[in-house]
Amino acid sequence: MSDQLSQLKTFTTVVADTGDFEAIRQYQPEDATTNPSLILKAVQQDKYRPLLSEALEWANAQPGDGNKTELAADKLAVMLGARLLQQVPGYVSTEVNAHLSFDTMGTIEKAHQLLDLYRQQGVDTDRILIKIAATWEGIQAARVLEQQGVKCNLTLVFSFTQARACAEAGAYLISPFVGRILDWYKASHPDQDFSEMQDPGVQSVTRIYEYFKQHGYNTVVMGASFRNIGEIQCLAGCDRLTISPALLEELANTQGELPRRLLPGETAKGEQPAQLNEADFRWQMNEDPMATEKLAEGIRQFAADQVRLEQLLRQ
């Protein structure tokens, strides 16, 4: 019997949650995702440090008096993304600056700036996903971008409300954060059993997946932010799963049958309900303290790592 990573690849698209080229070569995922935290972690390794100098040199050579370090950070993300595209056959996600999470027009403009940088490097942008925080403003930016032919990955999804709004906006893909949901519930209910299907992050992704299939939404569900391989095993069969190198290694070293848990044909198709409006979205988020807190925390974390990355470039 083959290892569980090989079995998972037969019914779920495996995505590498890393900017480490060597890990991607080793585990051969279909797609790759990055974020400011992963980029910061990667470029702090000596082997990637020359990319910092190259990005900053390029930014300083550009005309105008704009923020050169921000431009260099964008260039760095694109350089890493272009190299990842050489290693995976599918998509690579590149994230919009988290400081734009509540700025619809700013997000749209930044998305096109990133795509322009990719084109300058001779990259086919059909394989780029623009990664945007799933705030109301971010979701509306994705609605516009998708209509313009730009595929989007809506990240930091913690609630069914966010997932539903993303699907209604026509987002190509969403990233529900399984492990961070579990973190919140473990901190709030330390004595409760959250093993296997009792894991609230697993339950959230399962509900979203079944709802999308039931109502015929084309939005891809990609579980993310896993804390252990048990969560991955419980979501085997999900459209995509983005997995860290450490958990990819653990799956590759785990034998035994991996049964498929999520099946697209198990629920009857139903008519899509009326779309959420902004007031409904904000009220339902207000009623979900976990999603509200984790979304805000995630945006702050990515923004802080973006600042640290720009500080590293300035040095």
Range of the domain at 150: 4-314
With 80 as the cut, is the pLDDT of residue 30 above it? yes
Phi-psi region of 221 (alpha: psi -120 to 50; beta: other; left: phi over 0): beta
User: What's residue 88's pLDDT?
Assistant: 95
With 70 as the cut, is the pLDDT of residue 268 above it? no
Q: Looking at residues 222-232, what average pLDDT do you find?
A: 97
Of residues 39 and 96, more confidence is placed in: 96
CA distance 142 to 148: 10
User: What's residue 67's pLDDT?
Assistant: 86
Total domain count, the chain: 1
User: What's residue 264's pLDDT?
Assistant: 86
Confidence label for 91 from pLDDT (cuts 50, 70 and 90): very high
Confidence label for 266 from pLDDT (cuts 50, 70 and 90): low
Confidence label for 33 from pLDDT (cuts 50, 70 and 90): confident
Q: Looking at residues 131-138, what average pLDDT do you find?
A: 98
User: What's residue 18's pLDDT?
Assistant: 87
With 90 as the cut, is the pLDDT of residue 35 above it? no
With 90 as the cut, is the pLDDT of residue 42 above it? no
With 80 as the cut, is the pLDDT of residue 65 above it? no
Partnered with residue 221 across adjacent β-strands are: 174
User: What's residue 41's pLDDT?
Assistant: 85
Q: Looking at residues 151-162, what average pLDDT do you find?
A: 98
Nearest to 168 by CA among 128, 218, 114: 218
175: which residues sit within 8 A by CB, 6+ positions away?
A: 33, 131, 153, 154, 155, 156, 157, 222, 223, 224, 225, 242
With 70 as the cut, is the pLDDT of residue 16 above it? yes
CA distances to 65, 183, 188, 290 from 177, in Å: 38, 10, 17, 12
Where do the DSSP E strands lie in 188-288? 220-223, 240-243
Judged by DSSP in three states, 40 sits in helix
Confidence label for 1 from pLDDT (cuts 50, 70 and 90): low
Structure pTM?
0.95
- Number of Cβ atoms within 10 Å of the Cβ of 69: 19
User: What's residue 7's pLDDT?
Assistant: 97
CATH number at residue 274: 3.20.20.70
Q: How is residue 256 annotated by DSSP? A: S
Confidence label for 101 from pLDDT (cuts 50, 70 and 90): very high
| Residue of 131, 151, 213, 294 marked catalytic | 131
Joined together, the tokens standing for residue 241 give: 């799963």
Average predicted confidence (pLDDT) for the chain = 94
Q: Looking at residues 158-166, what average pLDDT do you find?
A: 98
With 90 as the cut, is the pLDDT of residue 281 above it? yes
CA distance 64 to 168: 39
CA distances to 6, 224, 230, 251, 252 from 247, in Å: 13, 12, 10, 6, 8
With 90 as the cut, is the pLDDT of residue 66 above it? no
The answer to whether 302 touches 93, Cβ cutoff 8 Å, is: no
Q: Which helix (H) or strand (E) holds 37?
A: helix 36-43
Task: Tell the residue number behind the tokens 């930044």, with chain if given.
Answer: 110
With 80 as the cut, is the pLDDT of residue 95 above it? yes
Q: Looking at residues 114-120, what average pLDDT do you find?
A: 97
Q: How far is CA 87 from the centre of its chain?
A: 18
> Does residue 131 carry a catalytic annotation?
yes
